[in-house]
Amino acid sequence: MPMDQEQLATTQPVLEFDGKRGSFAKLLIINGILTILTLGIYRFWAKTKVRKFFWSNVRFLDDPLEYTGTGGELFVGFLIVIAILFPMGLIYTAIGSLVPPDATELRVGLEVIYYLTIFALLQIGFYRMWRYRMSRTTWRGVRFGLDGSTWTYLKLACGWSILTFLTLGAAYPWMQVDLWRYQVRHTRLGSEVFNFTGNAKELLLPWLPCFVAILCNVGIMIGAAVFFTYGADVFGAEFSQTEQGILLTVVIFVANTVGAIGYLYFRVRQTRMQISGLRVGKVTFHSSLSFIRLFVFAVLSLLSMGIILSLPLALYYVLGIDIGVFPPIADPQPMTFGKAFASLILMFISFVVVLPFIWTVLFGFEVIKQMVITTTIENPEALEQAAQSASDTPRTGEGLADALDIGGF
């Protein structure tokens, strides 16, 4: 037997992914239907099913991860947070209604406080979400866990965010590395605490396109303000006002396309850095996640979304099949209430149900699959000595993260 095991360890990959896209799509469809039928309440159980799917399809040293959380825990956590958030929202609304509409400075101040509060809640929600997920993840019966303090994390996140804001995004790679380091160094599998040795250096070049895109956008916002205030003088007097408008649009489009592709590249490099810097004692990790592959899948997903979205339009304007939502071509009249309502429903279903479905099945699934299969682990056997830890686990679910809708799955 020991001989067999040694052979197994050397010939088979340490980390494997068994998930099938078809069964994932089926799961999402059933989840979607139940979520709509229950006016959204089912989403906690839906999330749990999706997590169980991914967790159980990742095998490490031949044994799968297991997600032990339940929809009920998420739901109760959510209710508790609602009980806190609602009065807060109400107080904010009440204060807002006391401020006269012409007190612009006071209004802006109130808005700023509102968004800062939301930002802080997002950070707290994220850390608590990670803590819950870790406590509900087991491998070979041993629970993961997240220690550390939510408040320390919040302070760290706030400090870095201010710095990132002030440097127009230049500090972003350092922020990402520092936050990840805090998170990883407080993550453990049973008794085995993770460590992180990566640094931001290798992210600086990948961040450059995004940084340039941010600078372009800020520049263009200023340019547009000048354009709309003073007329045709942004690009010099030899351009007409229309030409200047077109130029601005083209620059914004190019900058944001480059920025979006650059961001995907950055996220791939970031993920590689995040995984490759992981250490647990002698165990080391390495990721060779491929940008090209994810880029192709992103483009495929976007194309499919575009095709699906334009299908009703094509049916109507090319084939003349009316599904009851468009104004008559020949005789353009104001839409009736019924038609306006029908097109609203169609838009709602497209944007809230169909498009996220395509994106998750094509792109989201691929990201997780690639992240798993491109990760190699040296000395994985060292993790077998992990001992169960007796520390407390949260009793209810992610609450804040659910109320603020962060975290994807």
Partner 1 sequence: MPQPASFNDGKTAARHNVHIEIEALSLVISDAAGHVMARWPLGDIRYADLARRTPPVRLRCNDNDARLNLDSSDDGTWLTRKCPNISKRDTGQVKWPTWVAAGIFAIASVAGIFVFFLPAIASTVVNFIPYGMEQKLGQQSRDQLIGLAGHLNKSNKSLVCTSPTAQAILDKRAKELATLMDSPFPITVTVVRVPITNALALPGGQIIILSGLLEQAKSGDEVIGILAHEIAHVVRRDPMQVSIKQTGAALLVSLLIGDVFGGAALSGVASSVIESGYSRDAEAASDFLGVTALNQLGLTARPLADFLGRISQGDPISDIIPDFLNTHPAGEDRRDAIIALSQENGRAMSRYEWKALKSMCEK
HSE-up (13 A, CA, CB side) for residue 56: 11
Check binding of 72 to partner 1 (CB under 8 A): yes
Q: Least CB distance from residue 61 to partner 1, whole Å?
A: 7
Check binding of 143 to partner 1 (CB under 8 A): yes
Contact range with partner 1 by CB under 8 A, out of 116-124, 235-243, 256-264, 401-409: 401-409
Q: Least CB distance from residue 72 to partner 1, whole Å?
A: 5
Q: Which is nearer to partner 1, 39 or 237 (CB)?
A: 39
HSE-up (13 A, CA, CB side) for residue 53: 22
Check binding of 367 to partner 1 (CB under 8 A): no
HSE-up (13 A, CA, CB side) for residue 372: 21
Q: Least CB distance from residue 74 to partner 1, whole Å?
A: 9
Backbone angles phi, psi at 375, to 5 degrees: -95, 125
Integer Cα distance of 50 and 18 in angstroms: 14
Pick from 52, 44, 126, 50: nearest CA to 78 = 44
Site string for partner 1, 312-351 (x = CB under 8 A): ----------------------x--x--x-------x--x
Considering only residues 109 to 138 of the shown chain, the ones binding partner 1 according to CB under 8 A are 138
Q: Least CB distance from residue 90 to partner 1, whole Å?
A: 6
Integer Cα distance of 149 and 147 in angstroms: 7
Check binding of 101 to partner 1 (CB under 8 A): yes
Q: Which is nearer to partner 1, 203 or 372 (CB)?
A: 372
For residue 395, what are its two tokens? 């009793």
Backbone angles phi, psi at 362, to 5 degrees: -80, -55
Exactly one of 17, 34, 49, 185 binds partner 1 (CB under 8 A); that residue is 49
Neighbours of 299 (CB within 10 A): 12
Pick from 133, 186, 129, 187: nearest CA to 401 = 129
Check binding of 30 to partner 1 (CB under 8 A): no
Considering only residues 368 to 387 of the shown chain, the ones binding partner 1 according to CB under 8 A are 383-387
Q: Which helix (H) or strand (E) holds 66?
A: strand 63-67
Please, is 376 exposed, middle or buried when counting C-beta atoms within 10 Å of its C-beta (0-12, 13-18, 19+)? middle
Integer Cα distance of 194 and 135 in angstroms: 15
Q: Which is nearer to partner 1, 43 or 272 (CB)?
A: 43
Q: Least CB distance from residue 356 to partner 1, whole Å?
A: 9
Q: Which is nearer to partner 1, 132 or 211 (CB)?
A: 132
Q: Which is nearer to partner 1, 101 or 320 (CB)?
A: 101
Sign of CA dihedral 341, 346, 351, 354: positive
Q: Which is nearer to partner 1, 203 or 355 (CB)?
A: 355
The binding site for partner 1 (CB under 8 A) comprises: 1, 18, 35, 39-40, 43, 49, 52-53, 55-57, 61, 63-64, 66-70, 72-73, 75-76, 79-80, 82-83, 85-86, 89-90, 93-94, 97-98, 100-101, 138-143, 189-190, 334, 337, 340, 348, 351-352, 383-388, 393, 395-396, 402-403, 405
